Structure 1
């Protein structure tokens, strides 16, 4: 077998091999391996991490202290100063876990536990801050919405329970406001005070310190307390469904917003996502604290610890303009402007959620207070997501909580307020995967990179081999040539000559002796 033929056969075999293995089989092997790794079947490492995240998330709290409380009572615009961060480690676990093999689901109750930590930028929990009393402001706003006729009763109860306060603002330690609790003295005997305290004692978010006193904190009720039960797909039968919530609190949809669109429970709980998502799919998760699902949308490609990732961001939308978000409005005529969401139907008190410092919100909210400086890098929601494995490798989830402050002639402390949305505090939940958890991803991409380089080198080499063999085969083809026959001069006078001419006829060159034989 000639060399060009051998080269052509070898190149063709290499071409077929690399197409079959490098372009067909290897991606399927990687896909199959990931499918078996990311499901929540017992025994899988990802399940153990899902049930108990092996590292704490960072949880930072920032509180807005009021600089001009007396002026606000006289009608001035609030001047605020951000104090923080107050730093905590957030440990996420899931308890009372049960599996349903037939439905391929797992059920659990999520628990978040916060542990104070100190860093060089972290503020001490004994730092004093001045804020609107959340209970007084929340009480008046709630009564105003539910039973406006009972505002006079609420005014009397405030004087009774809080001993005729001269200001709606209180100065407390940060740890008391956040976790330890602010004391509410409910050992009152007057009708108004007892009526309000009876309702407060039935509120599960308040701590019963003793028979008469209650404790209120912003985050204390959430600390170490099991959330409502969730049933989610394990993804062993269909990896596209891994982590997707089936029911929350025993229901396939909420009963909060009276709308199938806004009450829908979509996505995961945010601790896991399906692998091999396309960027147009976005990242969908359900936020119980907001009673809604949020979609993070793709923004750009980037790298994290040398891993290619997609950058995603989320917002609270604009219920005043987006028809699909109108169902989040308290009433069709009371939609908040861009960037704000009224949580009244969700948490039963007038509480507004937004991005910190009113970032990506209507400018009117920012003008209602002084001292805020919205910044995308500091206040936006951002996720770096590795789509092949479905892993968030870096994330910052940020939310600010505010309360409406409006004048009310039936409540003594509320006579002269200028209407505004008053920021109270904001939180930042963060995760940064270190090399221990990014190394498997980096190894995966290294293998993919090596295979990609090799398969294209082999592909180019095999195509080049086919081209060279074709060229050589063409050059070595046998070529046939015809030689010119030249006449040989003869001596016709010689009797022994052959081919004499007689009478104009040609005779073959046969010697006379041979001729005479015939």
Structure 2
């Protein structure tokens, strides 16, 4: 009886542990989200706030030049052959300034950006030259193409007097950050400052050591699913550059943080000022960054597809006759001084075949050229990212620009960039300690209690089985039947004799 009672108590304990482990999950699902939300809110004292305010994770901007390898043949009508060189790497510093919190659970700030060249991570100094287009010449030519013939004839004379050539040698520093262009000086004197507002030209002119507009985002204090979501950018809740409401939407975040509890089925939106639009990523695969499980989200082929494939993209067709460029391109002229700049993924990844007929030397591949972000699905924090984009110039023959008469139409890549960062291991370890601790603790308790309970029940079952077998073996000696000896005589139990 005593053994049976002990076994019953241990069996009850085992069942209790299994039940306790089973209910831990729904209990923690109710308790943990508010704890996690407090750590992810954009407010002083939260786990993410200091890193959000001044990005401590190293961010790098890599530039790859796309030089013209056959300049003379190109000017005579052959397709240009581009030669890639890079990376030219800059360390990017991104402190936020004028951070102001509001009662409506938003926070505004200026995202400052400065770029410092890192020659150790580069193929050479950022002062070395490569052969490329004279961007100022083709930009002015583009501005004048729809003006009366008289103005074009006048400019032809001005161009001849300037001595400017269709091609020139530039360094990556000049191309991106800007250089004083005598051609623009002349153009400003003749066409006026309204038409030519600056005498400097650079694809990232006025981007270094400045901000990229006033951001206003939700803090997530009232609703963690809205954390880091953009409310307004530069005072706008939507853009004004494009031709549809959808194209002008300012969606998602700046890419550094998403809402927690991400699902594989959702689209993750980011707004990218340098691309002049919002983009989105779709789930591709499960990954692992800094020993942390992450999900990889990539820009899909249809993001830059022609309207025949993705009808929403009709809003990005901004030319006068509302025609669209080949698939894979977005007309970036509205936010690049009305220069004929076109944005795409590097090497025209997912681009129309006609692009590769117009321009030779390109080798697109997903691993090197796609846009990808590796996100922690629990917290929504981005552990690794590669924001890649290519800038190309549309070129053609212009009767009023000497030297271009034989050039065939082409979208000629000039440079592509890769803004990249990866969370350091020590930052990932700190994240695990502060964010994942409750999850790991819950899983540990669940495993210990459930498997402990199963172990106890298994031990009870073995003990019960052994005890029963032992009882069955002893049962004949305790029965009331007489024991017959080998000689056939009835024997009396010694205990019975003692009691007689």
**Fold match by TM threshold 0.5:** yes
Structure 1 position 317 matched with structure 2 position 296: no
Could you tell me how far 1:466 is from its partner in structure 2?
A: 4.9
Structure 1 position 114 matched with structure 2 position 115: yes
Q: In structure 1, how many angstroms separate the alpha carbons of the residues matched to 2:29 and 2:59?
A: 33
The structure with the largest alpha-carbon Rg is: 1
Structure 1 position 215 matched with structure 2 position 200: yes
Aligned counterpart in structure 2 of residue 365 of structure 1, from 355, 361, 380: 355
1:260: which partner in 2? 245
Could you tell me how far 1:256 is from its partner in structure 2?
A: 2.0
Could you tell me how far 1:31 is from its partner in structure 2?
A: 2.5
Within 5 Å, give how 1:30-45 maps onto structure 2: 30-45=32-47
1:302-343: CA deviation from partner (whole Å, max 9, x where unpaired): 212221111111143313321122211225851223221111
Aligned counterpart in structure 2 of residue 195 of structure 1, from 187, 190, 211: 190
Q: In structure 2, how many angstroms separate the alpha carbons of the residues matched to 1:147 and 1:442?
A: 65
Change (3 A) 1:186 1:407: closer
Within 5 Å, give how 1:247-396 maps onto structure 2: 247-315=232-300, 316-321=303-308, 322-330=310-318, 334-347=323-336, 348-396=338-386
Change (3 A) 1:384 1:7: same
Change (3 A) 1:76 1:402: same
Could you tell me how far 1:465 is from its partner in structure 2?
A: 4.3
Could you tell me how far 1:226 is from its partner in structure 2?
A: 2.0
Is the 8 Å Cα contact of residues 290 and 423 (structure 2) preserved in structure 1? Answer: no
1:97-155: CA deviation from partner (whole Å, max 9, x where unpaired): 21112x10001122211111111543212211111111111121233257787433443
Is the 8 Å Cα contact of residues 318 and 340 (structure 1) preserved in structure 2? Answer: yes
2:492: which partner in 1? none
1:8: which partner in 2? 11
Within 5 Å, give how 1:236-255 maps onto structure 2: 236-255=221-240
1:163-201: CA deviation from partner (whole Å, max 9, x where unpaired): 233x3001133322232514325665xxx7733253455
Is the 8 Å Cα contact of residues 267 and 285 (structure 1) preserved in structure 2? Answer: yes
Q: In structure 1, how many angstroms separate the alpha carbons of the residues matched to 2:74 and 2:304?
A: 30
Within 5 Å, give how 1:48-59 maps onto structure 2: 48-59=50-61
Is the 8 Å Cα contact of residues 57 and 423 (structure 2) preserved in structure 1? Answer: no
- Give secondary structure in 2 for the equivalent of 1:218: coil
Q: In structure 1, how many angstroms separate the alpha carbons of the residues matched to 2:147 and 2:285?
A: 45
- Give secondary structure in 2 for the equivalent of 1:31: helix
- Give secondary structure in 2 for the equivalent of 1:226: strand
- Give secondary structure in 2 for the equivalent of 1:325: helix
Change (3 A) 1:145 1:466: farther
Change (3 A) 1:157 1:235: farther
Q: In structure 1, how many angstroms separate the alpha carbons of the residues matched to 2:244 and 2:185?
A: 42
Is the 8 Å Cα contact of residues 357 and 366 (structure 1) preserved in structure 2? Answer: no
How many residue pairs get aligned? The number is 467
1:398: which partner in 2? 388
Query: What TM-score do the two structures reach when normalised by structure 2?
Result: 0.85
Higher mean alpha-carbon deviation, 296-305 vs 272-281, is at 272-281
Q: In structure 1, how many angstroms separate the alpha carbons of the residues matched to 2:297 and 2:208?
A: 28
Could you tell me how far 1:392 is from its partner in structure 2?
A: 1.2
Change (3 A) 1:92 1:157: farther
Is the 8 Å Cα contact of residues 306 and 442 (structure 1) preserved in structure 2? Answer: no
Within 5 Å, give how 1:471-482 maps onto structure 2: none
Q: Gapped runs of 5+ residues in structure 1? A: 207-213, 486-518
Query: What TM-score do the two structures reach when normalised by structure 1?
Result: 0.82
Aligned counterpart in structure 1 of residue 443 of structure 2, from 431, 452, 455: 452
Q: In structure 2, how many angstroms separate the alpha carbons of the residues matched to 1:218 and 1:41?
A: 35
- Give secondary structure in 2 for the equivalent of 1:95: strand
- Give secondary structure in 1 for the equivalent of 2:94: strand
2:70: which partner in 1? 68
Is the 8 Å Cα contact of residues 307 and 445 (structure 1) preserved in structure 2? Answer: no
Change (3 A) 1:454 1:58: same
Q: In structure 1, how many angstroms separate the alpha carbons of the residues matched to 2:146 and 2:461?
A: 86
1:433: which partner in 2? 423
Could you tell me how far 1:157 is from its partner in structure 2?
A: 3.7
Q: In structure 1, how many angstroms separate the alpha carbons of the residues matched to 2:114 and 2:121?
A: 22
1:334-376: CA deviation from partner (whole Å, max 9, x where unpaired): 1223221111234333210011111221122122122222122
Is the 8 Å Cα contact of residues 243 and 273 (structure 1) preserved in structure 2? Answer: yes
Structure 1 position 159 matched with structure 2 position 160: yes
1:3-52: CA deviation from partner (whole Å, max 9, x where unpaired): 232123212321232223x3133344443322111111123342222221
Is the 8 Å Cα contact of residues 178 and 203 (structure 2) preserved in structure 1? Answer: no
Change (3 A) 1:30 1:151: farther
Is the 8 Å Cα contact of residues 366 and 372 (structure 1) preserved in structure 2? Answer: yes
Is the 8 Å Cα contact of residues 302 and 308 (structure 1) preserved in structure 2? Answer: yes
Q: In structure 2, how many angstroms separate the alpha carbons of the residues matched to 1:184 and 1:110?
A: 32
